[in-house]
Amino acid sequence: MERKTIELDQGWDYMHKGIKKLRRILEGLPEPPFTSEEYMMLYTYGWYFTFVQVFVYLFLIYLQGFSPKKMVNPWKTYVKLSAVLMGSHGLTKGSLAFLNYPAQLMFKSTKVNPQS
């Protein structure tokens, strides 16, 4: 599968089309299905969105008023755990590009519940 790079000025067109589709959906109007190119664009930025998610989490932790005095475990434990979770999120989002649509829906709607 060939990866397509989109320049910034081309990206605005994709965003405009996406917003237009979302508006039609919210208004209840019939919407034509995604083209194969639009469909792949939804799942080719797995790692990018993972890094964005991590930075949003860090910003929210900062806003909450994190203090090292409140930590229960050493820094090394938190860093290892966050690296494993970030890898898990990135690989999960990246793998969605290789699944068909019904499998993606099932995969995204399931959640692992740890049992203790």
Kindly write down the DSSP assignment for every residue of 3-67, as one continuous string: -----HHHHHHHHHHHHHHHHHHHTT---PPPPHHHHHHTSS-HHHHHHHHHHHHHHHHHHHT--
Q: Judge if 56 and 27 occupy the same domain.
A: no
* Same domain (yes/no): 16, 55: no
* pLDDT class of 93 with cuts at 50, 70, 90: confident
Dmax over CA atoms of the chain, in Å, equals: 55
For residues 30 and 59, membership in a common domain is answered with no
**Would you say residue 111 has pLDDT above 70?**
no
**Same domain as 25, residue 9:** yes
Residue 31 has what pLDDT?
A: 63
Q: What is the mean pLDDT of residues 93-100?
A: 76
Cα–Cα distance measured from residue 1 to residue 43, given in angstroms and rounded to the nearest whole number:
13
pLDDT at residue number 54: 86
pTM: 0.49
Q: Are 6 and 53 in contact (CB under 8 A)?
A: no
Whether residue 33 is found in the same domain as residue 86: no
Query: Sign of dihedral through CA atoms 68, 72, 73, 78?
Result: negative
Identify the pLDDT of residue 4.
Answer: 66
For 7, the domain range is 1-42
